[in-house]
Each structure stands twice: as C-alpha cells, then as structure tokens.
Amino acid sequence: MLKQTEGSHAVAEAVALCRPEVVCAYPISPQTHIVEGLGEMVKAGTLRNCEFINVESEFAAMSVAIGASAAGARTYTATASQGLLFMGEAVYNAAGLGLPIVMTDANRAIGAPINIWNDHSDSMSMRDSGWIQLFAETNQEALDLHILAFRLAEELSLPVMVCMDGFILTHAYEQVDVPTAAQVDAFLPPYEPRQVLDPRAPVSIGAMVGPEAFTEVRYLAHAKQLQALERIPALAQEFRGIFGRDSGGLVHAYRTADADTIVVAMGSVLGTIKDVVDELREAGVAIGALGICSFRPFPLAAIRDTLKGARRVVVIEKSLAVGLGGIVSTDVRMALSGLHLHGYTVIAGLGGRPILKTSLHALLERARTDQLEHVTFLDLNWDVVNRVLEREKTTRRSGSIAESILRDIGAVASNVG
Amino acid sequence: MFQVRIHGRGGQGVVTGAEMLSVAAFLGGKHAQAVPSFGSERTGAPVVAFCRIDDREIRLREPVMQPDALLIQDPTLLHQVDVFQGLGRDGYILINTNRGFEALGLGEFVKDFHPERLCTVPATDLALKHVGRPVPNVPLLGGFAAISRVITLEAVVAAIKERFAGKVADGNIAAATAAYNTVVREMEEAAHA
C-alpha cells in the first residue's frame, strides 16, 4: 500500500512484516524512531510472538542479539554512531559466530567533536567486521533492503547491516509502498537456523581456535561474503518478481553506458547526483552515476564492468580515511586495477554538511577538465582551516581545535543558546 | 517542483507542519518530501523544515535553497534569521501575525512581489481559539492551501485526520478552515485593491 510516512516508520513496518522474534535496542539518534515504532507494535499486540527487550547499552543490545539469534530467534536491532562503536566487539563476534542478525545503522558521524548529523563514518568503522553492509538510496529501498536482509542473512548465516542516511532518510517523509504480509511471507520463509543453542540438546558455540585453524575460519568468512556476491543479485531479481520493483542488488548504474565521467557514491546523495547528471546530460555532457548498494561484499567485478569504459571516475563519499583520503574510493580503485583512467576522491557531507547541487556542478566542471585534486574536500572553508594552522604555528598552547573554530566562526560551543 | 520552507521555533510544530504538508500533497496525488533541518532541538530555538512537492519522484536531498513559498510561524524570527534567503519575487509569503506586511516593516522588501501571494494570518490566535494551544502549524497549512492552491483544504483536513484523533483533530480542522477562509478573504481584498 502506498503511503506517505517517515523513513524510520517505514523501516519499522518492514521489520515487523519480517516477523522478528526478538527486538533489542538502545535508543540513539537518529535510529530511535525505528525501535520506538517496533516497541509500540509489540505493546499494541500488532507484532505478535516478538519480545522487545530494553537493554542498558549498545554493547548489551548486540550481546542480547547474539544470544537470541544463537537460540534460534529471528533477531533485529538498530543503532548509530557511537552506539555502533560501543557495541563494536560484539559486532565482530556476531559475524564470527555466523549469526544472521539484521541491524539498521542510521548513518551518523563519529566524535570527537560530538556531532549528531549524517555521514558514513560509523558503518565504515565496521566494514571489516564480517557483516554484510547494504546502503539504501531512498526510504523505499531502506524498507525493501530489510526484507532482503533477513532472507540473505538467514540463507548464508551471516549478519546484515542495512545502512540508511541518518535524518536525511530516517526523518524524511516520503512516499513508500508497504508490501503485504502475504508478499513478505512468500519471499521470506521461517528462520531455519544452521546452529541453535537448545537446553534439550546442549552444545557450545564460540570455541577458541588457535593458529592451526584460525586462518581457515577467517577464509570461510570471506568465502561466505563471496557467496553473497552471487546471492544478492539473485535475490534482487526474486524480489522484483514478488514485489514488482527494483531494490537491492550489488550496484545501480544510471546513464553510464556512454559516459566519459562516472560519479560513484552510496546512499541518499545519489538522488541529488542523478538530478545533476540529468542537468549535465541536457547540456550535452556524457556523464553518469554508479550507486554502490552492496559495500560488503564489495562487488569488484560489477564496478569494474560499469566503469571500464569511462575516462574518469569521481568517487563522492561521506567518509574519510584519515591520513589516506577515501575509503570507498580506495576500494573502487582496487576494482579499476590496471585500467587507465583518472580517479578522483571527493570527501563530502561530513557531519551533516549538505551536499548541494551547485557545489556538485562546480566540482564536476573541474573534474571534466581534469583540474581536480587527487583528494578534494567539498566546500571546505580554507579560511577557517588556515587560521587554525597559523595559530598552531605561532602559539604553543593553541587550545582545542573544535572550540577555536567555533569561536572563529562566531558560535561558541559552550554557550549555544 | 514546488518548494516550501517553514520557519518557526522549537515547540511550534514546524517539523510536524512540514510532514503534514507532505501528507496533504501525497493525498492530492503528488509526490512530496518533507525533511527537518536538525539543529539544537530546544523549545524556542529557531527551527527550519522543508517540503518539496512535485508530479514526479523527488530525488533531490539538499535543503530548500530557493523556496517557492515561505511559511513563517513566528514573526520575531524576521529580526533574527535570514528567513527570505533564496526567495524570488514570484514567491509566496505567509506569516503568522495579526499585523500586515507594512506594520512588520516589510513593505519596502515586498514591493515587487505579487500582492496576492503575500498574506498574514493570525494562526496562533486561531490555534488558541480552536485547539486551546498556541501551535500555529496546522492553521498555516490551511492558509497555505488558500494562497498557493498547491494543496486543497480537503487534503489538509485529511492530513489532520491522519495525524490526530478526536477533539484535537476537530479543533485543528476548525483552525485550518478558519485560516483558509481568512486568507481567501485577504486575497480577494488584495485583488480588488
């Protein structure tokens, strides 16, 4: 049914349609509305056979999820930012134990300085944890990816993180098509665990593995992700058969067939990028966009296949590998190994800075004439940066950078309001 | 695409107003996107929310930089925030106040605007009268329906019923309808002036 609703609410409805048996979560912006919505459904009795567990921290949230999933329950949680970091150890364990937990990460920056707004730093910090990571472009895709995530997770016995841009998607009201329970049931069979903790047939899970076999266990984690590379497109196709729309898959190519310049990105910024691509196409520019939906596993072959005909590739990412440049762009370059084309890294949208069409037009103009730096920080205020660098050069006790910058730009952190 | 920016203060239902506007547009068969601009979420602090309305899917995710219409829920913001940023002379302005544009000191600023696109409506008074609380967001949507014709009053009423129940819904419907009628009257006066 088509409805106009908040992204978080749409995701809560999708998760409920997947019939989770345990939902455990600790509130943190911007994911809170999702688990609040699920909590309300459990309380109202509209989501049956589901236990909603209030936990005392994110570390507890993931630990409870591990226990519930190991006991054979379909398990869901959600987090963001510092919450994801706090549960970090358990995040790795969930993957290492092969437990098909589904978790929403409402993408948000990581401090310090504290910042509640959107970027992709949080999920990037867990990119090597062994979780599958899928990025949603719209609220419709966020809704759909949760249904796909449970199916994929349980088939492979691997946890899946659905990443959706905090605030930009979670708090946006837009139109979504909420499927029927019958459609979801047709796509997602009841959970049949590969391993289960059962007091009637006691086993242990979580053995210590020494050097004699640790590499093999890790290789199998890698091999499972490679299996996911095969399953993700197949499931997207099956999804289309039942739900009648394209969602998920490894990558989404947009007007790339004859493009000299291809912009690569993940998440909601692709909408703005597509509008810019259309405007440039109208002006006769051969440009396209490539959205990466599956960041882990990373679809090297699909990306190479789309980008190999281009003359230049501009990766616009909401994350920063401090001391290197880009994270997504480093992976994209691996996909382009041996190809002769210009590669540009653009760091954009950090800590919620809006990515504007005007900025993208100016950026892509410089890219098309190959005047772009290797690594560019979109809309970076050099005056602010240089003032801090100058101060540090001349003053030993120059103070905290964050507070100094706020003073420079006229809003002092300690007395906002 | 028609882009609306709503300015108000924390506690005035700015975000709810944008969300309900998007619901009203959706119920009218349009695509709509409502997004809050999150800052410090405190009662009384300036708050901005956006709503885009179009006949096709809305992909753009930037803040509304060049609004077609401004809904100003609190006239004291005029002295604090550059609420008119990006607004063209074809734009619509609806301000929650008992006073007129001249009395607000905006006469010079709006002299090249279309007069029938400029309205003030005492939305807080209407909310106090019909809802019993000083929340001007819903009556302003009624006023917006009248001034812009982008949504209908019926769609606003349907959006109110989707959001609220019982007395609160009835009060908001009465307030929105009263604001709608006020704006229709003002526009007729402007047309004959």
Q: Are residues A218 and A335 in the same domain?
A: no
Q: Give the per-residue pLDDT at B42.
A: 78
Above 60 in pLDDT, residue A413? no
**Chain A residue nearest residue B37, CA to CA:** A167
CATH of the domain at A43: 3.40.50.970
Q: Are residues A229 and A351 in the same domain?
A: no
Q: Give the whole-angstrom CA distance, residue A177 versus residue A3.
A: 6
Q: Choose among A4, A356, A417: nearest Cβ to B23.
A: A4
Enclosing domain of residue A277: 251-377
Above 70 in pLDDT, residue A411? no
Query: Residue range B51-74: average pLDDT?
Result: 97
B18 at interface of A, judged by CB pairs closer than 8 A:
yes
Q: Give the whole-angstrom CA distance, residue A7 versus residue A5.
A: 6
Please judge whether B62 and A356 are an interchain contact, meaning their C-beta atoms are less than 8 angstroms apart.
Answer: yes
Counting Cβ atoms within 10 Å, is residue B109 exposed (0-12), middle (13-18) or buried (19+)?
Answer: middle
Average pLDDT, chain A: 96
Q: Are residues A327 and A304 in the same domain?
A: yes
State the nearest Cα–Cα gap between B143 and chain A, in angstroms. 21
pLDDT tens-digit series, residues B157-178: 999 999 999 999 999 999 999 9
Above 60 in pLDDT, residue B32? yes
Q: Give the per-residue pLDDT at B80.
A: 85
CATH of the domain at A290: 3.40.50.920
pLDDT tens-digit series, residues B121-160: 999 999 999 999 999 999 999 999 999 999 999 999 999 9
Q: Give the whole-angstrom CA distance, residue A49 versus residue B62.
A: 41
Which residues, listed in sequence order, are joined to residue B5 by a DSSP beta bridge? B50, B70
Which of 2.30.30.240, 3.40.920.10, 3.30.365.10, 3.40.50.300 is the CATH number of B2-192? 3.40.920.10
In 10 A of CB A295, how many CB atoms?
23
**Chain A residue nearest residue B35, CA to CA:** A172
Q: Give the per-residue pLDDT at B79.
A: 85
Q: Which residues contact B115 (CB under 8 A, 6 or more apart)?
A: B190, B193
Q: Considering its fold, how many domains does chain A have in total?
A: 3
Lowest-pLDDT choice from A86-95, A161-170, A407-416, B61-70 = A407-416
Please judge whether B22 and A117 are an interchain contact, meaning their C-beta atoms are less than 8 angstroms apart.
Answer: no
The single residue listed with the structure tokens 């005056």 is A383
Helices (H), A336-413: 357-368, 382-394, 401-409
The model scores a pTM over 0.90: yes
A414 at interface of B, judged by CB pairs closer than 8 A:
no
Task: Take residue B28 and report the two structure tokens written for it.
Answer: 């009218």
Question: What is the ipTM for the molecules in this complex?
Answer: 0.96
Backbone angles phi, psi at A77, to 5 degrees: -150, 175
Q: Give the per-residue pLDDT at B44.
A: 87
Window 10-39 of A, Cβ < 8 Å to B: none
B58 at interface of A, judged by CB pairs closer than 8 A:
yes
Above 90 in pLDDT, residue A160? yes
pLDDT tens-digit series, residues A249-274: 999 999 999 999 999 999 999 999 99
Query: Residue range A50-70: average pLDDT?
Result: 98
> Which residue ranges make up each domain of chain B?
2-192
Q: Are residues A291 and A328 in the same domain?
A: yes
Please judge whether A354 and B62 are an interchain contact, meaning their C-beta atoms are less than 8 angstroms apart.
Answer: yes
Q: Give the whole-angstrom CA distance, residue A172 versus residue B64.
A: 13
Helix count and strand count (H, E) for chain B: 5, 6
Q: Give the per-residue pLDDT at A415.
A: 34
pLDDT tens-digit series, residues A286-342: 999 999 999 999 999 999 999 999 999 999 999 999 999 999 999 999 999 999 999
Query: Residue range A180-200: average pLDDT?
Result: 96
* H/E stretch holding A316: strand A312-317
Q: Give the per-residue pLDDT at A416.
A: 31
Q: Give the per-residue pLDDT at A417.
A: 30
Q: Check residues A292 and A413 and name the one with the higher pLDDT.
A: A292
Question: Greatest CA span in chain B, whole angstroms?
Answer: 44
Above 80 in pLDDT, residue B109? yes
Q: Give the per-residue pLDDT at B37.
A: 87
Please judge whether B26 and A175 are an interchain contact, meaning their C-beta atoms are less than 8 angstroms apart.
Answer: yes
B41 band by pLDDT with thresholds 50, 70 and 90: low
Q: Check residues A413 and B47 and name the one with the higher pLDDT.
A: B47
Q: Are residues A19 and A140 in the same domain?
A: yes
Q: Choose among B36, B40, B62: nearest Cβ to A272.
A: B62
Q: Choose among B36, B42, B58: nearest Cβ to A171.
A: B36
Q: Give the per-residue pLDDT at A414.
A: 36
Q: Are residues A181 and A289 in the same domain?
A: no
Lowest-pLDDT choice from A57-61, A133-137, A305-309, B114-118 = B114-118
pLDDT tens-digit series, residues A360-386: 999 999 999 999 999 999 999 999 999
- 3 state SS of A312: strand
